[in-house]
Amino acid sequence: MPLFRYRLQTLLDEKAQAKEQAQHAFAAAQRELRAEEEEFEACVREQKAAVERLRRTRVESMSPVVGGTSGEWMRLRRDHVGRLYDEWREAAKATRAQEVSVNEAGDRLAAAREMLASRSRDVEVLEKHRARLERRFNNEAERKEALDQEEMANVIFLRGRAR
């Protein structure tokens, strides 16, 4: 019986390789998104810590100081609160920037997912086509073999009658 040879096997192999690359890209995009989300969470924690330090310092600056207050001491407190406020603003800015990075990583993940789905459909279509052609080929080969066997049986029968 002859062996089936799929004429588009090279194309199927290329599509399968492209699908594998899309799977790797998808996995990399997932890892990247996870890393960006972890960095975002760290930024949020830092921003909350900065807010808490600022709140605590403001409360302390309003409480009366033991031993009196001086102008120099008040200026130092005001500068300290200002620095804490600047730290909070920087933390908030970093959090917003990281949120943008998370959104961009999410968009890249969605694009990678769509690419993987597209490549998977391409491979699936070619595999179905291959299976359908192989079934036809095998059915045709079986039909031809059955005809050959029937013809051989007829020849043997006719030879036997001729004797």
The amino acid sitting at 22 is: A
Structure tokens at 97: 């920037």
In this structure, is residue 99 part of a structural domain? yes
C-beta separation of 112 from 25 below 8 A: yes
Q: Is 16 inside a domain boundary? A: yes
Average pLDDT over residues 130-136: 95
Whole-model pTM? 0.74
Q: What is the b/e burial string over 138-161, where b = at least 16 CB atoms within 10 angstroms of the residue's CB?
A: eeeeeeeeeeeeeeeeeeeeeeee
Question: Is residue 156 a part of any domain in this protein?
Answer: no
Residue 50 has which token pair? 């900065």
Q: Which residue matches tokens 């194309």?
A: 11
Structural domain includes residue 111: yes
Range of the domain at 93: 9-125
Tokens of residue 140, six digits: 């045709």
Q: 41 near 92, Cβ under 8 Å?
A: no
For residue 8, the 8-state DSSP code is T
Phi and psi at 69, nearest 5°, equal: -130, 155
- pLDDT at 57 > cutoff 90: no
- Residue indicated by tokens 């001729």: 162
* Mean pLDDT, residues 104-131 taken together: 97
Domain count along the chain? 1
Q: Over 90: is that where the pLDDT of 22 sits?
A: yes
Residue 10: closest CA among 147, 126, 145, 150: 126
Given a cut of 60, whether residue 68 has pLDDT beyond it is no
* Residue 155 counted as domain residue: no
Averaged pLDDT score across all residues of the chain: 91
| Residue 1 domain-assigned (yes or no) | no
Tokens 């004797």 sit on residue: 163
Position 70 scores a pLDDT of: 75
In a domain, 104, yes or no: yes
Residue 71: CATH number of its domain:
1.10.287.1700
